Structure 1
Amino acid sequence: MRLGVLDVGSNTVHLLVVDAHPGARPLPAHSHKAELRLAELLDERGAIAPDGVERLIGTVREALQAAEDKGCEEVLPFATSAVREATNADAVLARVKDETGVDLQVLTGEEEARLTFLAARRWFGWSAGKLLLLDIGGGSLEVAYGIDEDPDTAVSLPLGAGRLTSGWLPGDPADSADVKALRRHLRAQIARTVGEFSRFGRPDHVVATSKTFKQLARIAGAPGSGDGLYVQRVLSRKSLEEWVPRLAAMTVPERAALPGVSEGRAPQLLAGALVAEGAMDLLGVEELEICPWALREGVILRRLDHLPEE
């Protein structure tokens, strides 16, 4: 069957269309993406501004049309931290449903982490042993650990690259005092959760998902997307520690000129690098491997698991 998964995230609204059936890997058929940056469209009360709501409704309509054009039998719509934490979330969700017919399911941070973990487990398989997963989104950082498909523990922290950039790094290039303050803040947040994971022992394999980690691995020398989906891509803490001060000294246009870094993501790359560095350091990770599958694939896999057998 052809499924669409509609991901209303903090940075983008992304429709992923796949051909899938139980027991087989989902095959991407189409991708429709719009950079909405909901996390940056909040007013002083933490509500999504009227203009942001209108843009969201228009973007959802466009995604639905794309899903229909591509022959999707079902669309799985969900929203993450930007909508979840908006003070007017209920009103926004009602407007979207009234005007588009889409009932956005708001995932909790823990659900995000668990579904992303499922995708990583399916990608790497049982031979990967105990997995530690890291995912940096626009609004939050997810960490999960376990040996099965459902992790033993999963947490979500408000340490997304977009959120931190808008709240802590207003300058271009970033002010060194702001960078130090952000580094101190995020490390204190991460340190509170370390005990949740250390009690389970060292993982056999550490993996990371998200555009942020992919871009950090790319600028640190990992193969580009043109080399294919199945090429191993790794990121070491040593390389990351060398890149953080370089990124801090760059302007946004200079970051956008780096290999694999998009213009839209360049402003957030420094904050994302600081989160990645802090998480790897405090969790004792020397090297991690990039996983091509993430939350959207986890949502699809969970749906396939609940389809009746033919």
Structure 2
Amino acid sequence: FELIDYQRAPVRLGQDVFSLGYITEANIQATVQALKRFRSIVQHLGVPRLRAVATSAVREAENSDIFLDRVTQETSIVPEVISGEEEARLVHLAVSKAMDLRDKYAVLIEIGGGSVEVTLSYGETILSSESYRLGTVRLLQKFGSVTDNLLSFSRMVLEYAELARQRIDREIGAQKIDLCIATGGNVEALGMLRQQLLRRRSSYFITLDELETLVETVGLMPLQERIDRLGLRPDRADVIIPAGIVLHMIARETRLRQIQIPHVGLKEGILWDMLPEALCQRPPRDQQIRASALRLAQKYQMDLQHGQQVARLADRLFEQSECLHRLGGEERLLLEVASLLHDIGQFIQPADHEKHGYYIVKHSPLIGFTPSQQDVVAHIIRYHRKEPPSLQDETFRSLPQRERLTVTKLTAILRLADSLDTSRSHAIRDLHLQPTNRNGWRLILEGEGDLLLEKWQLRKRKKLFEDVFGVSLEIA
């Protein structure tokens, strides 16, 4: 795509949140004014689609609900609070469009004001992603001015970040990394300083030695000199040093000596993510969600053949019962992932594995899903056996009514699909779910042998399907 216009308003929400815990009235008003200006530009250009996202500062603010309501009421823009994993997915999407990642293992480092996202990917697929509270504004609020004592500041940051460094080291492990890529405004500024101060030709990469030299050189300059001599914006001049320190620490773990700077980031990722919908294409996040779910299944040593068989049969049931459930493509994907991962809790213990599975999925990254979508998947897994969804369960009761209904309908379908591979022999080749009269349906199975065990299990577990959809189900 072609970038027509770019507008920026430096409103530091994190400066409030990371020191006070909430967003002050002054910054709420500053945000509202900035978004009103953006809104008028959008309207002037006749832009039909708009997406606004909020990241770590709004995620953590005690008054985030009030902040979001004020913004919506006064600007008619509805911000979407995204997780660190979603932020990483969008940045990775932008990078994959700017660089050739094919057949390469890459570590992506997104340096933000409140958090740092570290992503391990292979090609266009994210393998893992972690969000660390090492953002530049946060570090500045925590440790004060860099100019007082650069060495002392660097040591405090590195000691504070040591646990994160160890986790990153474990995540990368023995894997040979082909590319180390960094994004964010501070990273791009460091690339420009490489040209300006070190007289290099390109701003699209920097070596670790050059990065160390820049941190030392710029870190010793007073703040005003960074602004006057280097041309850094005031809101960039103070945070560029913590950005350089954290970037150097993480990049060193890749065992590469060079960091690529593609000059893209979250905003480009959002635009690329919106493009398929605008062109009526299948969104790329579906592929990422499937890859993330598969990696989670492998991590917890699931029986993948069983999970994939149940997912295939659940999809056939979903397709053939559309007139009963009246759900769409989003719910179909939720069912697919829940079916693949339904037995993931057996890694902890076979007994009550539906509860263990709920906990694992609830607290593991499924990159591409929103938190509410992931919550739905976790609940479907929670109820795929034993007790059906019930308002007696506080966590289920806390879901919005629409999501409770989705969980209940998809759980009913998953219970049938799971029954169809009770023997783990993958004997069912296909199935046909057909209406016989107004309230009667028949399930016909095609497969190897007499399928007695599968039919027996279906008759035991079909009640939820019958109750939810108000039908009787005959097993043929």
TM-score range, shorter chain: 0.7 to 0.9
Q: Which moved more, 1:259-268 or 1:148-157?
A: 259-268
Partner of 2:331: none
Cα distance in structure 2, aligned partners of 1:247 and 1:208 = 19
Of residues 180, 189, 199, the one that matches 1:206 is 180
Partner of 2:217: 246
Structure 1 residue 100 displacement after superposition: 1.6
Cα distance in structure 1, aligned partners of 2:232 and 2:176 = 32
Say whether residues 1:118 and 2:93 are aligned partners. yes
Q: TM-score, normalised by structure 2?
A: 0.55
Q: Which moved more, 1:43-52 or 1:60-69?
A: 43-52
Partner of 2:263: 292
Residues 168, 178 of structure 1: 8 Å contact kept? yes
% identical equivalent positions: 24
1:80 partner letter = T
Partner of 1:70: 45
Cα distance in structure 1, aligned partners of 2:128 and 2:14 = 26
Of residues 99, 115, 121, the one that matches 1:146 is 121
Partner of 2:107: 132
Cα distance in structure 1, aligned partners of 2:83 and 2:7 = 24
Cα distance in structure 2, aligned partners of 1:232 and 1:221 = 6
- Could you say what the CA RMSD is over the residues aligned between the two structures, in angstroms? 2.5
Partner of 1:304: 275
Of residues 212, 233, 243, the one that matches 1:272 is 243
Say whether residues 1:104 and 2:82 are aligned partners. no
2:126 partner letter = P
Partner of 2:25: 50
From the superposition, tell whether residues 292 and 190 of structure 1 become closer, same or farther in structure 2 (CA, over 3 Å): same
Structure having the higher strand fraction is: 1
Structure 1 residue 128 displacement after superposition: 6.5
From the superposition, tell whether residues 175 and 277 of structure 1 become closer, same or farther in structure 2 (CA, over 3 Å): closer
Cα distance in structure 2, aligned partners of 1:219 and 1:41 = 29
Residues 143, 154 of structure 1: 8 Å contact kept? yes
Of residues 126, 138, 156, the one that matches 1:181 is 156
Partner of 1:17: none
From the superposition, tell whether residues 119 and 184 of structure 1 become closer, same or farther in structure 2 (CA, over 3 Å): same
Of residues 195, 220, 225, the one that matches 2:194 is 220
Please list every run of 5 or more consecutive structure 2 residues that lacks an aligned counterpart in the other structure. Answer: 282-476
1:126-159 Cα shifts (integer Å, max 9, x gaps)? 4472222111111111111212423111111111
Residues 121, 131 of structure 1: 8 Å contact kept? no
- What is the number of residues matched between the two proteins? 279
Residues 187, 279 of structure 1: 8 Å contact kept? no
Q: Secondary structure at the match of 1:264?
A: helix
Say whether residues 1:59 and 2:34 are aligned partners. yes
Partner of 1:283: 254
Structure 1 residue 34 displacement after superposition: 0.8
From the superposition, tell whether residues 128 and 134 of structure 1 become closer, same or farther in structure 2 (CA, over 3 Å): farther
Residues 109, 156 of structure 1: 8 Å contact kept? yes
Structure 1 residue 55 displacement after superposition: 1.5
Partner of 2:16: 41
Q: Which moved more, 1:243-252 or 1:233-242?
A: 243-252
Structure 1 residue 210 displacement after superposition: 1.1
Rg larger in 1 or in 2? 2
1:266 partner letter = A
Q: Secondary structure at the match of 1:55?
A: helix
2:180 partner letter = V
Q: TM-score, normalised by structure 1?
A: 0.82
Partner of 2:165: 190
Cα distance in structure 2, aligned partners of 1:102 and 1:262 = 27
1:59-87 Cα shifts (integer Å, max 9, x gaps)? 11111111111221111111111111111
Cα distance in structure 2, aligned partners of 1:177 and 1:165 = 13
Residues 131, 146 of structure 1: 8 Å contact kept? yes
Please list every run of 5 or more consecutive structure 1 residues that lacks an aligned counterpart in the other structure. Answer: 1-25
From the superposition, tell whether residues 260 and 285 of structure 1 become closer, same or farther in structure 2 (CA, over 3 Å): farther
From the superposition, tell whether residues 130 and 282 of structure 1 become closer, same or farther in structure 2 (CA, over 3 Å): closer
From the superposition, tell whether residues 203 and 222 of structure 1 become closer, same or farther in structure 2 (CA, over 3 Å): farther
Residues 96, 102 of structure 1: 8 Å contact kept? yes
Residues 146, 219 of structure 2: 8 Å contact kept? no
